[in-house]
Amino acid sequence: MNDNHPVAPLPRVAVIGAGTMGAAMAARLLASNFQVDVWSRHSASTSHLVDLGATSYLEVKDAVSNADVVLTMLPTAQVTLEVMFEAQGLDAMKREATWVQMATVGVGAVESLAARVRALRPDVALIDAPVSGSRGPAETGQLLILASGDETRASLLANVFRVLGRKTMWLGPLGMGSRAKLILNTWLAFQVEGAAEAALLAQRLSLDPVFLQEALRDNPIASPFGLMKLGKIIHGDYHTDFALDLALKDLDLVGVDAGSDTAPVAAVIAERWRHLVDSGFGGLDVSVAGRRTP
């Protein structure tokens, strides 16, 4: 299950999507001497990567044409479909290239992408490898990579994954990575909402939430992640590490792929977060869940 595969020479990598996560991943690869091609729907977001040594392209088909490995980190399944199929990203990939889909797009979407790849480009290996972690872990190479699919490509990807993550787990057939990611993101949502509701409860009961932070420090019932989010909530720090609208998108995928009856609490959290997103807070960090719902 863990990454114990032999290491191959550095492949040329195209990073498609230069948002918070994609840009951080591209920068990590550049710092480790990879040759990196980049493309983004918002071309200005690649300028700092060009300064670091990347080659930026206006068309996705040009960005992928010379790459051994194409990493997609796009916000939704629909955008991924538009970029890789309608904009000819897949068509332009060279023979026997490897496409690593690293965003959270859901199980059904990954299976649909895989069917189209098999029909149109059976020589291309699609690897489902979403990541667990936000801005900080992406910038420091501490992501958890949840890989699934053709494990014969593992040696090609070993150097790439080693730079991007603290650990790679190969979980079996294509789609298992996306299944694992939905489970981990549900756990994440519980911790964020738990911190938010505990902070709000402290205020309602006339206690300074700082008491809660102190009470939970070195306490086995608290996780480092939960404490970090609690700190952001207490200080009103909504600087985006993981945007609320993207977290909501992931919770909605849990309902689509597993059914709301499987995770009823997650469904309730999703509705509360949807209200915050509809009120204009979607682009802020998930710590904004600590605001009272308007």
Q: What is the CATH number of the domain that holds 282?
A: 1.10.1040.10
pLDDT, mean of residues 265-280: 96
Give backbone dihedrals phi and psi of 101, rounded to 5 degrees, phi first.
-90, 110
Residue 197: inside a domain, yes or no?
A: yes
Do residue 194 and residue 163 come from a single domain? no
Structural domains in the chain (count): 2
Do residue 120 and residue 200 come from a single domain? no
**Per-residue confidence (pLDDT) for residue 194, from 0 to 100:** 97
Do residue 96 and residue 230 come from a single domain? no
Do residue 84 and residue 222 come from a single domain? no
Residue 80: inside a domain, yes or no?
A: yes
pTM recorded for the entire structure:
0.91
Do residue 45 and residue 155 come from a single domain? yes
**Per-residue confidence (pLDDT) for residue 246, from 0 to 100:** 94
Do residue 87 and residue 30 come from a single domain? yes
**Per-residue confidence (pLDDT) for residue 5, from 0 to 100:** 59
pLDDT over 60 (residue 1): no
Boundaries of domain holding 92: 13-172
Residue 37: inside a domain, yes or no?
A: yes
Q: What is the CATH number for 116?
A: 3.40.50.720
Q: In the predicted model, what is the mean pLDDT of the chain? A: 95
Do residue 139 and residue 59 come from a single domain? yes
List the one residue out of 126, 250, 245, 138 whose CA is nearest residue 183: 250
d(CA 71, CA 74): 10
- Residue pLDDT, tens place only, 7-48: 567 999 999 999 999 999 999 999 999 999 999 999 899 999
Say which residue the tokens 């595969």 belong to.
5
**Per-residue confidence (pLDDT) for residue 71, from 0 to 100:** 98
List the one residue out of 145, 148, 144 whose CA is nearest residue 172: 148
- Residue pLDDT, tens place only, 59-118: 999 999 999 999 999 999 999 999 999 999 999 999 999 999 999 999 999 999 999 999
Largest CA distance in the chain: 64
Do residue 285 and residue 253 come from a single domain? yes
Do residue 197 and residue 147 come from a single domain? no
Do residue 22 and residue 128 come from a single domain? yes
Do residue 32 and residue 165 come from a single domain? yes
Residue 2: inside a domain, yes or no?
A: no
Q: CA separation (Å) from 250 to 117, 143, 188, 247, 253? A: 24, 17, 11, 5, 5
List the one residue out of 261, 249, 106, 98 whose CA is nearest residue 177: 106
Residue 45: inside a domain, yes or no?
A: yes
d(CA 153, CA 5): 10
- Residue pLDDT, tens place only, 236-258: 999 999 999 999 999 999 999 99
**Per-residue confidence (pLDDT) for residue 43, from 0 to 100:** 87
